[in-house]
């Protein structure tokens, strides 16, 4: 049964109110990608289960990534507001339950529920703004989403460090506030979207491909298990890792075969005939790999080499945040004024390549102001790329594919980030082990007394815990610190080609004229008319 919903264009004030609700929801999901990892050690000490601590992050990652494409398609069928609010409520329930968890098993399960909500928050935010604002005007609004990502990049480690450093906050165990802090923000987002988010529902006869959805979720989950769990723990060439990755890719191929025959596919294969969809998907993947790889490594450098606390390490990411915010907002306003967008992803990839290459200067004594310059350039590159890739994509999509197409862009960025963290983490770990082994052997040959106070157990813990060096001699400490630095060099050298490839891909992006407000309104009206007819 069809239903017609009258819809009047939103005023600037109404759009900004909706934006506030959407940005609040996006902030929740973005924060939880980084805030928990800072406090993991504290959480595992309190709850026990050290052997399973990685699953606190992995459970969230699996459900949030696997659900992202589904949210886009379901919102195309049932409407944005209801599905977005479902995501908020799911995220809030997961957050409250995670904060109240009594053991690691409960925490892992509730983090999976939280991730299920986060998948909708991350993808539907960009889908909804695509419905509300025309591509020509979208830049000046989407720039604020870049600011949210920048804020979350710094605030996540900062808040995680603060809460984990305090045993009690307002009478509640400090780390539990990492989850409870989501509750007021989520309620605000829920209230705002209920009051002002009135997007016309384009109802039509539909049949959800449940079998395809099941295959997709299993495929993504198995693939991510291989990439983010088995590979770092066992190695990339171990049978368990290869089987998981191979099974994930095989299931994804089965999913695509299923989609070709489905009457209402989760992933319409016609999207792959869209040049802009293909280019922006690849760009999102590359940006995700470089972004998450670098953002994870920089705080690690500050903590391991500079001996900064988790809180101070978070503060030292402020130049990165300023780069993202300034570039996102300024490029968005320029696009709204001139209607040109291709130059920004191109320049963004250049800036990221320069930054990652420049971070090879890192040493034990590098001044922070030097690091800050490259952080700012990295942030500016991200700010010029992330949001403007989405603008280019949405400008090329039909209204019926807006949800699934946009959410798939978020999906590819998440997959790229997962792969980037796993690969760069593996490179760091393997190179660090090699450099420490070589350095210690060389030091021992020259000065055996310098190895006093060291044990094999201490060397095994050096990857993430510099505190074990407290009993090392000054010469041995200097050798280990230099090994850290050399390992970080290799990581950044490995990341730079990723964004260099992104530069080449960005040059292939076709600069299509951005749709105006009138064209956007007409497209929405025609889509609603087709559904009703």
Taking residues 450-461, report their average pLDDT. 73
The CATH number fitting domain 12-208+264-435+485-532, selected from 1.25.60.10, 1.10.760.10, 1.20.1250.20, 1.20.58.2050: 1.20.1250.20
pLDDT tens for each residue of 397-439: 887 788 888 888 888 888 888 888 888 888 888 888 888 888 8
Closest CA to 135 of 426, 343, 341: 341
Q: What is the C-alpha separation between 408 and 402, in angstroms, rounded?
A: 10
Q: What is the C-alpha separation between 404 and 71, in angstroms, rounded?
A: 8
Q: What percent of the chain has pLDDT over 70?
A: 88
Is the model's pTM score more than 0.85? no
Task: Pick 199 or 106 by higher pLDDT.
Answer: 106
Radius of gyration of the chain (CA): 23
Listing DSSP states for 430-492 in one string gives HHHHHHHHHHHHHHHHH-GGGGTT--HHHHHTTTT-GGGGGGS-HHHHHHHHHHHHHHHHHHH
Tell me: pLDDT of 319 over 80: yes
Query: What does the pLDDT read at residue 414?
Result: 84
Among 211-225, 253-267, 372-386, 451-465, the range with the most confident prediction by mean pLDDT is 372-386
Taking residues 286-315, report their average pLDDT. 80
Task: Pick 65 or 353 by higher pLDDT.
Answer: 353
pLDDT tens for each residue of 72-131: 778 877 778 888 889 999 999 999 999 888 888 888 899 989 989 998 888 888 888 877
Query: What does the pLDDT read at residue 55?
Result: 77
For residue 100, give Cα distances in angstroms to 117, 186, 208: 18, 17, 35
Query: What does the pLDDT read at residue 524?
Result: 52
Mean confidence (pLDDT) of the chain: 82
Query: What does the pLDDT read at residue 277?
Result: 92
Tell me: pLDDT of 473 over 80: yes
Tell me: pLDDT of 480 over 50: yes
Query: What does the pLDDT read at residue 190?
Result: 86
What are the sequence ranges of the domains in the chain?
A: 12-208+264-435+485-532, 209-263
Q: What percent of the chain has pLDDT over 90?
A: 17
Taking residues 470-487, report their average pLDDT. 86
Tell me: pLDDT of 136 over 80: no
Lowest mean pLDDT among 59-68, 304-313, 323-332: 304-313
For residue 270, give Cα distances in angstroms to 102, 256, 260, 398, 422: 47, 12, 9, 11, 32
Name every residue whose Cβ is closer than 8 Å to that of residue 488 and which is 6 or more positions away in sequence: 297, 300, 301, 305, 359, 362, 428
Structure tokens at 6: 């009258």
For residue 484, give Cα distances in angstroms to 297, 449, 467, 489: 11, 22, 14, 9
Residue that has been written with the tokens 């292939």 in this structure: 508
At 133 the three-state DSSP class reads: coil
Q: How far apart are the first and last CA of the chain?
A: 11
Query: What does the pLDDT read at residue 516?
Result: 60
pLDDT tens for each residue of 329-359: 888 888 888 888 889 999 999 999 999 999 9
CB 464 within 8 A of CB 444: no
CB 165 within 8 A of CB 309: yes
Taking residues 198-205, report their average pLDDT. 57
Tell me: pLDDT of 532 over 50: no
Taking residues 176-183, report their average pLDDT. 89
Per DSSP, helices labelled H in 133-227 are 135-165, 177-180, 182-196, 210-224
Residue 5 pLDDT class (50, 70, 90 cuts): very low
CB 369 within 8 A of CB 533: no
Tell me: pLDDT of 53 over 80: no
Tell me: pLDDT of 525 over 60: no
Structure tokens at 184: 């007021």
Listing DSSP states for 307-343 in one string gives ---HHHHHHTTHHHHHHHHHHHHHHHHHHHHH---TH
At 39 the three-state DSSP class reads: coil
Tell me: pLDDT of 175 over 60: yes
Taking residues 14-28, report their average pLDDT. 82
Task: Pick 477 or 197 by higher pLDDT.
Answer: 477
Tell me: pLDDT of 36 over 90: no
For residue 124, give Cα distances in angstroms to 69, 86, 446, 495: 10, 11, 60, 29
Query: What does the pLDDT read at residue 530?
Result: 47
Tell me: pLDDT of 521 over 80: no
Query: What does the pLDDT read at residue 110?
Result: 92
Structure tokens at 139: 């830049």
Tell me: pLDDT of 232 over 80: no
Taking residues 295-317, report their average pLDDT. 80
Residue 3 pLDDT class (50, 70, 90 cuts): very low
Task: Pick 179 or 516 by higher pLDDT.
Answer: 179
| Strands in 338-419 per DSSP E | none
H or E segment to which residue 502 belongs: helix 474-507
Residue 249 pLDDT class (50, 70, 90 cuts): very high
pLDDT tens for each residue of 88-97: 999 999 999 9
Residue 199 pLDDT class (50, 70, 90 cuts): low
Query: What does the pLDDT read at residue 355?
Result: 94
Residue 522 pLDDT class (50, 70, 90 cuts): low
Residue 246 pLDDT class (50, 70, 90 cuts): very high
Task: Pick 203 or 105 by higher pLDDT.
Answer: 105
Taking residues 319-337, report their average pLDDT. 86
Taking residues 517-530, report their average pLDDT. 51
């Amino acid at each position: 049964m069809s239903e017609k919903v009258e819809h009047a264009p939103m005023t600037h004030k109404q759009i900004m109110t909706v934006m506030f609700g959407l940005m609040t929801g996006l902030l929740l999901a973005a924060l939880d990608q980084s805030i928990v990892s800072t406090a993991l050690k504290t959480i595992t000490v309190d709850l026990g289960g050290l052997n399973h601590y990685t699953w606190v992050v992995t459970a969230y990652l699996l459900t949030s990534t696997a659900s992202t494409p589904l949210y886009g398609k379901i919102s195309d069928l049932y409407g944005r507001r209801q599905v977005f609010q479902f995501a908020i409520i799911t995220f809030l329930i997961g957050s409250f339950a995670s904060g109240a968890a009594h053991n690691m098993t409960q925490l892992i399960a509730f983090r999976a529920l939280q991730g299920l909500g986060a998948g909708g928050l991350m993808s539907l935010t960009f889908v909804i703004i695509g419905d509300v604002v025309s591509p020509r005007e979208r830049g000046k609004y989407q720039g604020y989403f870049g600011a949210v990502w920048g804020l979350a990049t710094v605030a996540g480690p900062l808040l995680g460090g603060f809460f984990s450093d305090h045993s009690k906050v307002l009478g509640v165990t400090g780390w539990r506030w990492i989850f409870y802090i989501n509750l007021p923000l989520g309620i605000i987002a829920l209230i705002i979207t209920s009051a002002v988010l009135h997007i016309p529902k384009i109802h039509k006869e539909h049949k959800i491909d449940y079998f395809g959805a099941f295959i997709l979720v299993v495929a993504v989950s198995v693939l991510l298990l291989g990439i983010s769990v088995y590979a770092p723990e066992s190695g990339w060439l171990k049978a368990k890792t290869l089987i998981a990755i191979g099974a994930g890719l095989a299931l994804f191929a089965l999913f695509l075969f299923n989609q070709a025959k489905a009457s209402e596919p989760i992933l319409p294969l016609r999207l792959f005939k869209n040049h802009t969809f293909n280019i922006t998907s690849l760009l999102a993947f590359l940006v995700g790999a470089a972004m998450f790889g670098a953002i994870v490594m920089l705080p690690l450098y500050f903590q391991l080499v500079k001996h900064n606390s988790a809180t101070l390490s978070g503060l030292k990411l402020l130049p990165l945040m300023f780069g993202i915010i300034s570039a996102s907002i300024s490029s968005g306003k320029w696009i709204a004024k001139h209607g040109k967008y291709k130059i920004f992803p191109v320049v963004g990839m250049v800036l990221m390549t320069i930054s990652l290459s420049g971070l090879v200067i890192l040493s034990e004594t590098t001044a922070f102001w030097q690091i800050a310059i490259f952080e700012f350039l990295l942030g500016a590159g991200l700010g010029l790329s992330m949001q403007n890739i989405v603008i280019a994509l949405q400008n090329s999509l039909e209204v019926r594919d807006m949800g699934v197409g946009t959410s798939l862009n978020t999906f590819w960025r998440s997959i790229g980030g997962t792969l980037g963290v796993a690969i760069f983490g593996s490179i760091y770990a393997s190179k660090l082990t090699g450099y420490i082994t070589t350095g210690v052997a060389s030091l021992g040959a020259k000065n055996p007394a310098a190895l006093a106070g060291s044990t094999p157990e201490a060397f095994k813990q050096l990857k993430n815990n510099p505190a074990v060096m407290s009993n090392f001699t000054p010469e041995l400490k200097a050798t280990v610190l230099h090994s850290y630095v050399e390992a970080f060099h290799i990581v950044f050298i490995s990341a730079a080609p990723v964004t260099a490839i992104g530069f080449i891909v960005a040059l292939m992006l076709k600069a299509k004229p951005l749709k105006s407000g009138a064209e956007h309104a007409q497209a929405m009206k025609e889509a609603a008319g087709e559904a009703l007819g």
